Amino acid sequence: MLAAGFAACSDDDNEPAPAWGEGITVKKEVALAAAAPQTLNIKAPAAPTLKSEAEWLHIGQPEAKSAGIYAVQLQADINPLGEPRSTEIEITAGQHKATVKLTQLAGDAVQILEITPGTTLDPQGGTVTIKYLATAEPSVTAPDWMAVEKGRALTEGVVTLTYSGNYKDAPREAEVVLSITKSISASVVLQQANTSLPQEMGSTAKELAAKMYAGINIGNTMECPGKEGDWSMPVNEAYVAALARMGFNAVRIPCAWDSHVSDAATNTIDPAWLDRVDEVVGYVIGNGMYAIVNIHWDGGWLENTCKDGWNADVDKKQRDYWKQIAEKLNHYDEHLLLAAMNEPNHTSHTSTDAIMKYQQAMLDVVRATGDNNASRVLVMQVPNTNIDLGTQGYYKMPVDVVEDRLMVEAHFYDSYQFNMMTQDEGWGKCHWYWGEENFVAGSDRNATHTPDDVRRQMQKMKTAYVDKGIPAIIGEYCVCEDRSSYAGIDKAKHQASLKLWNRVTTREAKNAGCVPFFWETGGDINRIDGSVRRSYQLDGVFEGAAEGVYPF
């Protein structure tokens, strides 16, 4: 890329003349297709003059555009040689000069001239530029882990590609194609080795929990049956990196598996899906955060059947799937945690017995894969992930072969009328306002649920698990129904209520030894670039995270 600076005027005859090309910004090389005209854009401190010794090249008069930009049309006679021919165009603007090499081809063409810094990519991620010569503006195709940005008209034809780190367990390659038509293109293959990740496995579950400041879910995304992002948008690294910049340092990745099976007879998960989950986990851990991968609702094959009691076929799937997941992700260190289920359905002690057996099966299979998984922290879910059901004493954690490497999980969406209810019922109305400071005088929309209720629920987890050495996570929590657009609502007080509920829940969870994972599905954070859409939601989360103090 030709850097240019404007030379200062001077009356001093002894001042040295400007260097060749100084003060003029223009492409160094241009290609013409047969007799097709092309416009050359020039930035110069004065109207430029152009000349060439080639009689077959016709140069039009510079046409002023704006801000010192001039457009000049170039056109050549038909080339009778049957092979490319070249000439140099000398450009002068006052004391400033530059040279452009022009090549005339027999027809449309695109040629890759230079790759900087080279075809070997940084395993940690970075940028690579491809300089090209083309008779028309090419389209660019590249893998989805590369972001493409074309150069500006005044510079050389340049494509800049920003690429993510390779946190998979194998190298990968990218073919970048520059095309003018379906049959006229140029391509380059770029190679990227996988990056070395830390291999620390020494932290206990309690020590890991203490390191997690604030967590978030990539909700309605990887757990969509059949296709990632059907309920929201697929994951990209820019979004994940933005989560880290916001202040989150732990990410729960709900995952579907049963709808990504390539051979149902053997419960074989599609290798491409395993690769994709591996890639997303790499985004999270590569950005310095902790990741939790689970088997989510997944069509209900696991969690919905718990109510019917233990089933041998379900147990086999649980074992087969977790063996493949654990083997695929074993290369990650303690920054990865594995969660056995999501919200296992509960109706009776019979269903609780099934839940405990399926969790024991998961634990046994993961531990048997060895290496990092032999001591990886695993997360077990209380029945229905309901705090009351999980703290009444019947549910028990599975038996582990290593000490202090288990966490327990519950979810929190209290109260239903404020958090999830979408329409009034005969038994009660939706609550719009939460916390006395946000109440509307005389309104029947003020919540009866209080900050003290949140505190009491979280303290139940502390008494039942945390005080006994088992840290907990609140794997999901949020006010699912944002009613800001409802008719007749006091919007400011409603949004202040959402912020306060998030703040109190996050704070009280941490105070009770429960790592908070905010449930987010794209409404609060833009899934493309990670920009914030509803700041009042996230402000509450981070205020609560700052106020909460783990008891360990």
CATH topology of domain 110-192: Immunoglobulin-like (2.60.40)
Question: Any idea what DSSP says for residue 325?
Answer: H
Q: Which string of DSSP letters, residue by residue, matches 487-528? A: TT--HHHHHHHHHHHHHHHHHHHHHTTEEEEE--SSSSB-TT
91 neighbors 49 (Cβ within 8 angstroms): yes
pLDDT, position 151 = 66
Q: What does the pLDDT average to over 487-493?
A: 97
Measure the CA–CA gap between 39 and 65, rounded to whole angstroms.
12
Q: Provide the CATH number for the domain formed by 29-105 in this structure.
A: 2.60.40.10
Tally helices (H) and strands (E) across the chain: 10, 26
Q: Provide the CATH number for the domain formed by 205-547 in this structure.
A: 3.20.20.80
Report pLDDT digits (tens) over 89-141: 999 999 999 999 999 988 888 889 899 999 999 998 889 999 988 888 889 99
Q: How far apart are the first and last CA of the chain?
A: 56
**Residue 538 in 3-state DSSP?**
helix
Averaged pLDDT of the chain: 92
Q: How is the chain split into domains, by residue range?
A: 29-105, 110-192, 205-547
448 neighbors 499 (Cβ within 8 angstroms): no
Report pLDDT digits (tens) over 15-62: 344 444 568 999 999 999 888 899 999 999 999 999 999 999 999 999
Q: How many residues in the chain? A: 552
353 neighbors 309 (Cβ within 8 angstroms): yes
pLDDT, position 21 = 53
Question: Any idea what DSSP says for residue 479?
Answer: -
Report pLDDT digits (tens) over 297-345: 999 999 999 999 999 999 999 999 999 999 999 999 999 999 999 999 9
Residue 403 has pLDDT above 70, yes or no: yes
Measure the CA–CA gap between 472 and 411, rounded to whole angstroms.
10
Structure tokens at 541: 């989360």
Residue 435 has pLDDT above 60, yes or no: yes
Residue 191 has pLDDT above 80, yes or no: yes
pLDDT, position 7 = 32
Residue 3 has pLDDT above 80, yes or no: no
Phi first, then psi: what are they for 114, rounded to 5°? -155, 145
Report pLDDT digits (tens) over 242-264: 999 999 999 999 999 999 999 99
Measure the CA–CA gap between 299 and 336, rounded to whole angstroms.
24
Is the fold of 29-105 the same as that of 205-547? no
pLDDT, position 33 = 86
Report pLDDT digits (tens) over 70-87: 999 999 988 877 788 999
Q: What does the pLDDT average to over 452-459?
A: 98
Structure tokens at 549: 């103090």
Angle at 324 between CA 465 and CA 240, to 5 degrees: 70
pLDDT, position 59 = 97
202 Cβ partners below 8 Å, 6+ apart?
A: 334
pLDDT, position 155 = 61
pLDDT, position 34 = 82
Residue 12 has pLDDT above 60, yes or no: no
**Residue 141 in 3-state DSSP?**
strand
pLDDT, position 198 = 66
